[in-house]
Amino acid sequence: MSILIKNGTIITAIDEFVGDIFVEGETIRAVGENLKVEADETIEAEGKYVLPGGIDQHVHFSFNYRGEKVRGFETSNAALVGGTTTLIEFVNQEEGKGMIETIDNYNKESVESIAMVDYCFHGVAGEANEQLFAEIPKMAEYGVPTMKLFMAYKGAPYHCDDAAIFRALQASKDAGVTIMVHAENADIIDILQKQLVAEGKVEPYYHAVSRPVYAEVEATQRAIYLAATAGAPLYVVHVSCQEAMEAIREANNKGLPIFGETCAHYLVLDESDLAKPNFEGAKYVCSPPLRTQRHRDVLWNAVKNNWLNAVSSDHCGFDFKKQKHMGIKNFADIPNGTPSLENRFDILWTYGVEAGKISRSKFVELFSTNPAKINGLDNKGHIGIGYDADIVIFDPDKKGIITAEGSLQGVDYSPYEGMEKIGTVEKVYLRGNLTVKDGKFIGEKGQGRFIKGKPFGLCYK
């Protein structure tokens, strides 16, 4: 099967031009103006933007909180209607099992026959012991060249102290495995949570009070020092505040391979959302917490200037009526996370590109190209010869409203409910196969494929 997409405005991270794309099978074979080729199907894309499919490098489809599970890969079609063709799932190491064994079992049992997008994995350290440190170099060979360690959540089985982080950094650097950290000071948070609850301050707003900016800044700076001492790269996930971003920027300016991402919700929501009445604030509980307008403005400037090099969703699909209400009497019991996978494109385009905060090419860089590089996905994230034919055709003129109704995310709310979106994802091709038509998913369950990441990604270049 071959496809010719004609006369679209092709946008990549480095340029923008009106041209054609010729796809044969699963691969882009030619890109240029007025291509003279024979194709089985021709798509007229005049007046539309044609972009590479997105890579969302921060997704939770298997998280379990006190027996309550998030929505899983059965909702991965939500990614496609939002222009994302590849996602990277965080897999928590199971007790008594190695990291590779955990991921392999999870893939075969819960993903392989279900996923509707291409996918790969990050490991999440659960038992920071000698077995794990010995296994880290083998992860790159398996195709998972990234591992996340939690500095937050004191008392949780996956909380890692400085010794564990330092040992992991030492084990990772020569194997090309990138260590990622959730950077918040667990002791500060633990003390503040207990004090606030003792004072009767249990509403969702106090989630933000218990996790102040400097709890994130201190942990970010500490992680940077640990990485510098180990001589290893570091990636800081979901950066939410100015000062943490500045610590990353300063380290990078000194020549250290220290990088970070932010997430869509930190760019358009703020801590006032946590104060919404009738427990509505619980919908916005995520960690690190939403910050103030000052931080939102700084983060837009950071992604524009490549001080943070990707925008992820940190998608975590707990519903509101049942699961978020686990914390109705205590904010510390509210499951963390926001369902954002479907709307990452909408937020970045409408409130970034259309608002003049980032260019169209910067959008592609943050949404597709950089996440592919960071995670060693050499055939993803770009429209070019030899790349996978993961292609989005976007109509910039159609407007709409974000709502949970009709969403494929499988939860009962959207953190962006009622917000305007400018433009519509019209068609999406996954490796040359049409999976979204007129904004509707038309693909098949199990069409996704495990894509192995290569070691030594962007953090090493």
- Decide: 421 and 90 in contact? Cβ < 8 Å: no
What pTM did the predictor assign?
0.97
Q: Which residues of the chain fall short of a pLDDT of 50?
A: 461
Does residue 420 fall inside a structural domain?
A: no
Count other C-beta atoms under 10 Å from residue 23's C-beta.
Answer: 26
pLDDT tens by residue, 74-114: 999 999 999 999 999 999 999 999 999 999 999 999 999 99
Q: Please state, as a whole number, how many other Cβ atoms lie within 10 Å of the Cβ of residue 456.
A: 15
**Is 48 a domain residue?**
no
d(CA 70, CA 60): 8
Residue type at position 86: T
Residue 443 placed within a domain: no
Q: Taking a C-beta distance cutoff of 8 angstroms, is the pair 314, 287 a contact?
A: no
Angle at 113 between CA 110 and CA 114, to 5 degrees: 70
In a domain, 430, yes or no: no
Indicate the number of domains in the chain. 1
Q: What is the CATH number of the domain that holds 157?
A: 3.20.20.140
C-alpha pair distances (Å), 7 with each of 157, 226, 304, 431: 54, 50, 28, 20
* 142: containing domain: 53-380
Torsions phi, psi of 51, nearest 5?
A: -130, 160
Q: Tell me, what's the pLDDT at 460?
A: 55
pLDDT in tens, 32-41: 999 999 999 9
Measured CA to CA, the distance from residue 32 to residue 7 in angstroms comes to 10
Residue 49 near residue 394, CB atoms below 8 Å: yes
Task: Establish if 148 belongs to a structural domain.
Answer: yes
User: What pLDDT is attached to residue 457?
Assistant: 87
- On whether residue 43 sits in a domain, the answer given is no
Q: What is the 3-state secondary structure (H, E, C) of the chain?
A: CEEEEEEEEEECCCCEEEEEEEEECCEEEEEECCCCCCCCEEEECCCCEEEECEEEEEEECCCEECCEECCCHHHCHHHHHCCEEEEEEEEECCCCCCHHHHHHHHHHHHHCCCCCCEEEEEEECCCCCHHHHHHHHHHHHHCCCEEEEECCCCCCCCECCHHHHHHHHHHHCCCCCEEEEECCCHHHHHHHHHHHHHCCCCCCCHHHHCCCHHHHHHHHHHHHHHHHHHCCCEEECCCCCHHHHHHHHHHHHCCCCEEECEEHHHHHCCHHHHHCCCCHHHHHCCCCCCCCHHHHHHHHHHHHCCCCCCEECCEECCCCCCCHHHHCCCHHHCCCCECCHHHHHHHHHHHHHCCCCCCHHHHHHHHHHHHHHHCCCCCCCCCCCCCECCEEEEEEEEEEECCCCCCCCCCCCCCCCCCEEEEEEEEEEECCEEEEECCEECCCCCCCCECCCCCCCHHHC
Residue 315's pLDDT is what?
Answer: 98
Measuring CA to CA, how many Å separate 161 from each of 99, 150, 241, 299? 18, 9, 23, 28
**Would you say residue 326 lies in a domain?**
yes
Does a structural domain hold residue 423?
A: no
Q: Which amino acid is at 442?
A: I
